[in-house]
Amino acid sequence: MSVKSFFTARAVPTGAGGAAYRIRTSPPYRKALLSGLATLALVIAALIALPGVSRATTSLPCDIYASGGTPCAAAHSTVRALFASYDGPLYQVTRASDGSSANIGLLSPGGYADAAAQDAFCANTTCRITRIYDQTSHHNDLTPGPSGTSGMGADRGADASEIAVTVGGHKAYGVWISPGVGYRYTGVAAGVAVNGQPEGAYMVASGTHVGSACCFDYGNAESTPADTGNGHMDAVSIATTCYFSPCSGSGPWVEADMENGMFQGDNGSNTANKGNNTPYVTAMLKDNGQTTYAIKGGDATSGGLSTWWSGSLPTRGGYMPMHQEGGIILGTGGDNSNWNMGTFFEGVMVSGYPSDATENAVQANIVSAGYSGETNVPNGAQKPITGPGGQCVDVIGDDTGTDGAAVDLWNCQSYAEDQYWTHNANDSLSTIGRCLDIDGDGTAAGTQVELWDCNGVGGQKWVQHSDGTLYNPQSGRCLDATGNATANGTRLQIADCDGSSGEQFHLG
């Protein structure tokens, strides 16, 4: 089965043995607030940014945090600079065709991503995001994470062209997180809070590409991928996870993953948290590490922030004080629970407890960046293959298919990465980093198809014919739904080409 069936047909590990949940808190004692004039200056600087130009405003989020006395300890984005002076790479992509890599940078210092450079490098093949650079001097870069105690294997990098949006009038690519995708800084990241130190964090993420599994997080995590107990995480999340009921509505909610619990505020449950479901959400968290935390959310394209909680840290045990370890995660839980989905665009972690005035100025800058476009449907070169009965060609395994994974028919789902295929220049069809392959490179009628590493063999060549069939030249046979069936889970095979309804497959 695929992501579409994950939530109804498969139990999701939670609690101490499964998901890692945490949050950031906000200290009761904080550094002196900005003066009224300084705060006004920050807000004005953030608001005057004009979308449609390649150079960003003078003050970007990390400049604003620094002015407020809470400098960025880590800053990650695939769409724009987060310092006005930044002129380095945003992320690295690696080609499937030859394994070579390229850094994707900015159109200008302090500006927006050079998406055209990615398009040129990845033309006629697929690419994965294999590194997201930290824009601070700490070099806390994120790479696909190792396997952890959740029982999941090592993470894979996101498909680099899965989701394209517009920021500041420019095309840019977000990070499409599917089950099995995730990033980590393993170890203690420089400048990141540990052992009850105060910190803050935000991310801009989709409020429409969301799920309830564990864990679409960004922030402070264990230094190794293992659940080491309550209070050892301090990460912001946006998900439909109602971990502590009751919850208001169906979410998604901005939550704090503090390990072994997704906290919506208070001691877990917080019906005052009404959720944020706009295409772009600013999800914000801060924690003084000792007694207090706060959760905020807002539309990243307009308006201000809603404060969903500002008060005591949980009294459940282990959270007062916090025990952060200083690792960094994106798209997973602290123990590498990587079953959830989401779309990430930018995020930072800061040292100290940010003032409300600073956070408001950061939100104003985010709004001024001019995010637009859908965030819940893959829109890159990948297209669904529609088969018999209007079903989609799908990989069994919830977007985590490995070599030998069965290929079947399933209800079409907009979120399912393994239902989006790229028809490559060599006539192969690829998804989640592997190709549609005939088992054993066979040619006999009835041989089933599967997912396998792309290697250019004849059993991976598929030609779309005008009669709707997908033809494999090596075998002289066509892709076929076994028994002309259309039910979920119907295995696909090759069979003599007869133009029957079981051989009707259309790419795109």
3-state secondary structure 369-417: CCCECCCCCCCCCCEEEECHHHCEEEECCCCCCCCCCEEEEECCCCCCH
Cβ–Cβ < 8 Å for 361, 62:
no
Token match 């076929």: residue?
480
CA distance 466 to 389: 19
Q: What is the pTM (predicted TM-score) of this model?
A: 0.81
- Coil, strand or helix at 466: coil
Class in CATH terms, 383-507: mainly beta
Please give the helix or strand (H or E) that residue 4 lies within, else none: helix 3-9
CA distance 83 to 60: 5
Neighbours of 238 (CB within 10 A): 31
CA distance 368 to 409: 43
Q: Which of 216, 155, 254, 185 is nearest to 12 (CA)?
A: 216
Q: Which of 86, 87, 93 is nearest to 118 (CA)?
A: 93
CA distance 65 to 60: 9
Please give the helix or strand (H or E) that residue 358 lies within, else none: helix 356-368
Q: Which of 203, 445, 474 is nearest to 344 (CA)?
A: 203
CA distance 260 to 226: 12
Residue 447 half-sphere exposure toward CB, CA atoms < 13 A:
18
- Coil, strand or helix at 464: strand
Cβ–Cβ < 8 Å for 306, 298:
yes
Please give the helix or strand (H or E) that residue 430 lies within, else none: strand 429-431
Cβ–Cβ < 8 Å for 325, 222:
yes
Residues identified as active-site:
259, 335
Cβ–Cβ < 8 Å for 317, 230:
yes
DSSP secondary-structure letter at 423? E
DSSP secondary-structure letter at 448? B
**Rg for the chain, CA atoms, rounded:** 23
Cis peptide before 215 (omega within 30 of 0): yes
CA distance 131 to 94: 9
Cβ–Cβ < 8 Å for 254, 247:
no
Neighbours of 468 (CB within 10 A): 15
CA distance 437 to 426: 13
Cβ–Cβ < 8 Å for 50, 369:
no
pLDDT in tens, the chain (508 residues): 223 332 333 333 333 333 333 333 333 333 333 334 344 444 444 444 444 334 444 799 999 999 999 999 999 999 999 999 999 999 999 998 889 999 999 999 999 999 999 999 998 888 999 999 999 999 999 999 999 999 888 999 999 999 999 999 999 999 999 988 999 999 999 999 999 999 999 999 999 999 999 999 999 999 999 999 999 999 999 999 999 999 999 999 999 999 999 999 999 999 999 999 999 999 999 999 999 999 999 999 999 999 999 999 999 999 999 999 999 999 999 999 999 999 999 999 999 999 999 999 999 999 999 999 999 888 877 889 999 999 999 998 766 678 899 999 999 987 788 898 988 888 999 888 789 999 999 999 999 999 998 898 999 999 999 999 999 999 999 999 999 999 999 999 999 999 899 999 998 7
- What per-residue confidence (pLDDT) applies to 151? 85
Cβ–Cβ < 8 Å for 449, 442:
no
CA distance 226 to 307: 31
DSSP secondary-structure letter at 112? B
List every span in the chain annotated with CATH 2.80.10.50: 383-507
CA distance 206 to 277: 8
- What per-residue confidence (pLDDT) applies to 399? 67
CA distance 89 to 77: 10
Q: Which of 181, 182, 164 is nearest to 173 (CA)?
A: 164
140 token code pair: 């806390």
Residue 493 makes CB contacts below 8 A (sequence gap 6+) with 445, 446, 447, 448, 449, 479, 480, 482
List every span in the chain annotated with CATH 2.60.120.200: 18-79+133-368
Cβ–Cβ < 8 Å for 355, 36:
no
Neighbours of 120 (CB within 10 A): 10
Neighbours of 98 (CB within 10 A): 8
Q: Which of 254, 269, 257, 273 is nearest to 322 (CA)?
A: 257
CA distance 377 to 124: 21
CATH of domain 18-79+133-368: 2.60.120.200
CA distance 313 to 321: 8
